[in-house]
Amino acid sequence: MSRITHWMDRAWYPNHAKNWDDQLFREAVLRNLKPEMTMLDLGAGAGIVNQMNFRELASRVCGVDLDPRVVDNPFLDEGRVSDAGEIPFPDESFDIVFSDNVLEHLEIPDQVFREVARVLKEGGGIHVQNPE
């Protein structure tokens, strides 16, 4: 976290817990989640942000990340090492695609969003949390 962000959090949000933004993001995802849904965590990483653990709340949670630790991410039923521009899952695989602080790392956002549209089921949705 940058020094300015840390200062702003202390100054403007003194009553909020650490990772308050991740908690708000989690709540937004949960409002749309049903137990029978499948989810894709785009940029899942190693599974270190507890608020991104939806594993027991959906029928299946998969993830992709360039970080090879994604295959051992405890929040996922299946993790695959991959660039988000080539999501290694079939068309219409997921009801929800979510991404926590990943968009700022995308080199070709249009390609990533085409892939997200491809793997989303009809009527599915995407949830993204903007970077700090």
Domain containing residue 60: CATH number: 3.40.50.150
Q: In angstroms, rounded to a whole number, what is the distance separating the alpha carbons of residues 88 and 14?
A: 42
Query: The whole model's pTM is what?
Result: 0.85
The secondary structure of the chain as a DSSP string is --HHHHHHHHHH-TTSPTTHHHHHHHHHHHTT--TT-EEEEET-TTS--GGG--TTTSSEEEEEESSGGGGG-TT-SEEEE--TTS--S-TT-EEEEEEES-GGG-S-HHHHHHHHHHHEEEEEEEEEE---
Of 14-23, 25-34, 97-106, 120-129, the least confident = 14-23
> What confidence score (pLDDT) does residue 51 get?
95
Determine, yes or no, domain membership for 74: yes
Q: Average of pLDDT values for 25-33?
A: 94
Containing structural domain, residue 34:
19-129
Residue 102 has pLDDT above 90, yes or no: no
Domain count of the chain? 1
pLDDT of residue 88: 97
115 inside domain: yes
In the prediction, which pLDDT does 50 show? 94
82 inside domain: yes
Q: Is residue 60 part of a domain?
A: yes
Q: Which residue has the higher pLDDT, 24 or 71?
A: 71
pLDDT score, position 98:
95
Rounded to an integer, what distance in angstroms lies between the CA atom of residue 132 and that of residue 126? Answer: 19
Mean pLDDT throughout 56-85? 97
Give me 68's structure tokens. Answer: 């090879």
Average pLDDT, the chain: 89
Cβ–Cβ under 8 Å, residues 100 and 129: yes
- For position 1, what pLDDT does the model report? 54
Pick 45 or 107 by higher pLDDT: 45
Let me know: does 124 contact 91? Beta carbons within 8 Å. Answer: no
Contact call for residues 30 and 22 (beta carbons, < 8 A): no
14 belongs to a structural domain: no
- Say if 112 falls within a structural domain: yes
